[in-house]
């Protein structure tokens, strides 16, 4: 992930897609990069943008294709990604399937709905514990 402050907005075109209104902009950044990026809001000079270059540098295009990237948020317990709920659920789903499939070293067939229900319960408890830790 790269970060840069916008020095100049060269071009801004709007486009309506299935995800709503998007703005495609050609930007010059203070780190020297010149990028073409799509965002849901117009970017202005002085704003900071987090991005990854996605296109190849063939030397023919002035502005390199880039995609917006969400930065990690600093939390009290370290870094907490913005999509924390999905990560919690996926981890709980993995743990639930392992716990439920091996009961006392016996391999047991289980229903997917049983694993999903157990994972959801674990995720809710994990989320509540995270909220408690944040308030400390």
pLDDT tens, position by position, 74-105: 444 444 555 677 777 677 777 776 766 665 55
pTM over 0.85: no
- The token pair at 109 is 């067939």
CA–CA distance, 134 with 75 (Å, rounded to integer): 8
Pair of tokens at residue 2: 């790269």
Total residue length of the chain? 136
The dihedral over CA atoms of 60, 58, 12, 52, expressed in degrees to the nearest 10, equals: -160
Q: Are 39 and 50 in contact (CB under 8 A)?
A: no
Render pLDDT for 15-44 as a digit per residue (tens, 0 to 9).
998 878 999 999 999 999 999 998 888 989
């Amino acid at each position: 992930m790269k970060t840069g402050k916008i020095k100049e907005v060269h071009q801004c075109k709007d486009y309506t897609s299935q995800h709503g209104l998007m703005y495609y902009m050609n930007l010059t950044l203070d780190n020297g990069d010149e990028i073409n990026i799509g965002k849901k809001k117009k970017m202005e000079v002085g704003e900071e943008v987090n991005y990854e270059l996605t296109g190849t540098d063939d030397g023919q295009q002035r502005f390199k294709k880039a995609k917006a990237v969400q930065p990690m948020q600093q939390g009290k317990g370290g870094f907490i990604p913005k999509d924390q709920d999905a990560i919690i659920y996926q981890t709980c789903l993995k743990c639930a399937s392992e716990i439920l499939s091996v009961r006392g070293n016996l391999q047991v067939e289980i229903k997917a709905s049983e694993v999903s229900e157990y994972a959801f319960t674990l995720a809710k408890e994990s989320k509540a514990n995270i909220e408690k830790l944040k308030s400390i």
